[in-house]
Amino acid sequence: MTDVTTADSDQKNENIMKLNALGGVMVRLSVEVGSVSMRLAELLSLEPGSVIELDRQAGDPLDVLANGTLVARGEIVSVDGRYGIRITETITPDSWNARRERRGS
């Protein structure tokens, strides 16, 4: 191994140790089906039976958020009579940046 390779390996090991130290930190995981913006007057006029059209198509993957940050996408499944989510895509900083560049943001 060269000195550069050894230094890179040492840095990776140090980063892994830092991440392992955070393994016990609790985060709030939530799933977003979709969203919509509406005027307050529209919100106040809602009543039982009202339907709100969201910004997603039926069958689109749902966003999985950790403390409000997008970390994955998935699909709804049933697990012992309860809702669950099957992860279909994980979001990494690289994939997030690539997505923003394609949108021109």
Kindly state the average pLDDT of the residues 5-23: 75
Is residue 52 within 8 Å of residue 42, measured between CB atoms?
no
> How far apart (Å, rounded) are the C-alpha atoms in residues 35 and 44?
17
Please report the pLDDT score of residue 14 as a whole number: 78
Please report the pLDDT score of residue 70 as a whole number: 92
Q: Which residue type, as a one-letter code, is found at position 96?
A: W
Please report the pLDDT score of residue 102 as a whole number: 65
Which residues are CB-neighbours of 52 under 8 A, at least 6 positions away?
Answer: 36, 38, 46
Per the listing, tokens 């140090």 go with 14
39-89 residue pLDDT tens: 999 999 999 999 999 998 888 999 999 999 999 999 999 989 999 999 999
Please report the pLDDT score of residue 50 as a whole number: 96
User: What's the chain's average pLDDT?
Assistant: 84
Q: What is the CATH number of domain 27-103?
A: 2.30.330.10
Q: What are the sequence ranges of the domains in the chain?
A: 27-103
